[in-house]
Amino acid sequence: MASNVIARAGANIAFIKYWGNRPGADNLPLNLSISMTLFACVTTTAAALLDENASGDEIRLDGAPPGEKSAGRICLFLDRVRRIAGRKERARVTSQNSFPTGCGIASSASGFAALAVAASAAYGIRADAAELSRIARLGSGSAARSVPGGFVELHPGSAHEESFAEPIAPETHWPELCDLIALVSREEKPVSSAEGHRLARTSEALAGRLAAIPDRAGRVRQGILRRDLALLGEAAEEDALSMHAVMLTSRPPLIYWSAGTLEAMRAVYGLRKRGIEAYFTIDAGPNVHVLTRKKDAVRVADEIAREVGCEVLTDHAGPGARIV
Ligand code: PMV
């Protein structure tokens, strides 16, 4: 067996969300997206090539074999990596999340970014950061954004070569910015984001969302570069609501929120009314991310935990995917 390559990548939180993709297997997003790679929510993945006569990939996630769906998705991804490398050997993949499995934090971004880096190295692919981001995208669109660290933009593109993520600002750019994660529910989401990306095209709200994104992305970029939380936060909140409007108007509709989601959103509005800068954003699930300043983080986390009755994790900008 070839030597073991171990890589680590952070999850990320999108300020401009990727929702909706082009038909095909390459996860080509319909719109640009912008995110912050996280520091504490990370996946560490080891990849090693098996002997030529091994009949299948051996996969363990958090100490156990994955369910059929996850296993299939990972094997398909490894097939893509093997095709790029021009090799046939199967691989052993062992992966561990720093956050509790099934706690509602999407692990596909950190998971496929770490796997892209580990597997590319194990198969001897010489890839720069842009190419690693393209490869990670084949596993999960948002994983492309976990390859660079800090503040990141993913270009949509109409072909594989065109769609990859690039840094906007490094992880050290805005140490004051915190992402508080209100764990409203620990249940697995009923509809995967892969299915949601396909359904987006059935929504009458999609065209309006796509038309609004260039202006909103401009505000997000400026908010990041100027470290202006109000500018970033208002645009990020707007974008999350716009994405959920697409979900709600898809056919069939997708409703990811729970009662706790609305309670957390109201708690954020309440904090803002009292002059505390906090803004929410929500992915394809009920959990609520709250952007706030480090100096307000304890107060904001306590208030949300009390009002919603849930655990709140604290995170901030972290480095890109790397071999450890
Ligand atoms: O990478 P996927 O297929 O899990 O899609 C990510 C979808 C959102 O988390 C809802 C938005 C985003 O840009 O991260």
User: For the residues 28-51, what does the mean pLDDT come to?
Assistant: 98
Determine the pLDDT at residue 185: 86
Rounded to an integer, the average pLDDT of 270-299 is: 97
Question: Given this model, what pLDDT does residue 136 score?
Answer: 98
Q: Which of 18, 30, 152, 198 to mutate to test the pocket of ligand 1 (most atoms within 8 A of CB)?
A: 18
Judge whether residue 153 has pLDDT over 60. yes
Does ligand 1 come within 6 angstroms of the Cβ of 18? yes
**Cα 237 to Cα 215: distance, rounded to the nearest angstrom:** 14
User: Could you tell me the distance, in angstroms and rounded to a whole number, from the CA of residue 324 to the centre of ligand 1?
Assistant: 26
Over residues 248-260, the pLDDT tens digits come to: 999 999 999 999 9
CB of 110 closer than 6 angstroms to any ligand 1 atom: no
Which pLDDT band holds residue 2 (cuts at 50, 70, 90)?
A: low
Query: How is residue 18 written in tokens?
Result: 């990727």
Ligand 1 midpoint to CA 196 (Å): 9
- DSSP 3-state assignment of 239? helix
Q: What percentage of the chain carries pLDDT values higher than 90?
A: 94
pLDDT tens sequence across 181-240: 999 988 777 889 999 999 999 999 999 999 999 999 999 999 999 999 999 999 999 999
DSSP 41-87: EEEEEEEEEPPTT--S-EEEETTBPPPHHHHHHHHHHHHHHHHHHT-
Ligand 1 pocket member 29 (CB < 6 A)? no
Least confident of 88-92, 104-108, 148-152, 252-256: 104-108
**Is residue 42 within 8 Å of 98, Cβ to Cβ?**
yes
Region of poorest pLDDT, from 5-14, 97-106, 146-155: 97-106
Ligand 1, from 15, 153, 193: best to mutate by most atoms within 8 Å of Cβ?
Answer: 193
**Band of pLDDT at residue 101, cut at 50, 70 and 90:** low
Handedness of CA 162, 168, 170, 172 (dihedral sign): negative
Other CB atoms within a 10 A radius of the CB of residue 214 amount to 11
Cβ(15) – ligand 1 distance below 6 Å: no
User: Ligand 1 centroid vs 317 CA: distance in angstroms?
Assistant: 18
- Dihedral sign (CA 131, 137, 139, 143): positive
Distance in Å, CA 108 to ligand 1 centroid: 9
The pLDDT of residue 106 is above 90: no
Q: How far is the centre of ligand 1, averaged over its atoms, from the C-alpha of 1 (Å)? A: 35
Residue 194 Cα: closest atom of ligand 1: 3
Above 60 in pLDDT, residue 286? yes
**Using 50, 70 and 90 to split pLDDT, how confident is the model at 104?**
low
Q: Does the pLDDT of residue 1 top 70, yes or no?
A: no
Give distance in angstroms: CA of 195 to centre of ligand 1.
Answer: 11
Q: What are the two backbone dihedrals, phi and then psi, of residue 99, each rounded to the nearest 5 degrees?
A: -100, 150
Mind listing the domains of the chain with CATH numbers? 4-173 (3.30.230.10), 180-315 (3.30.70.890)
- Is any ligand 1 atom within 6 A of the Cβ of residue 21? no
Sign of CA dihedral 257, 9, 142, 188: negative
CA-proximal residue: ligand 1, atom 8 (nearest): 283
User: Between the CA of residue 12 and those of 35, 152, 253, 260, what are the distances in Å?
Assistant: 6, 9, 26, 22
> In angstroms, rounded to a whole number, what is the distance separating the alpha carbons of residues 85 and 87?
5
Question: With 70 as the cut, is the pLDDT of residue 102 above it?
Answer: no
Residue 35's DSSP bridge partners are 14, 152
Q: Give the model's pLDDT for residue 293.
A: 98
| Per-residue DSSP letter, 105 | -
In this prediction, residue 187 carries a pLDDT of 78
What pLDDT does residue 105 have? 78
Rounded to an integer, what distance in angstroms lies between the CA atom of residue 128 and that of residue 109?
A: 19
Question: Any idea which residue has 């969302």 for tokens?
Answer: 209
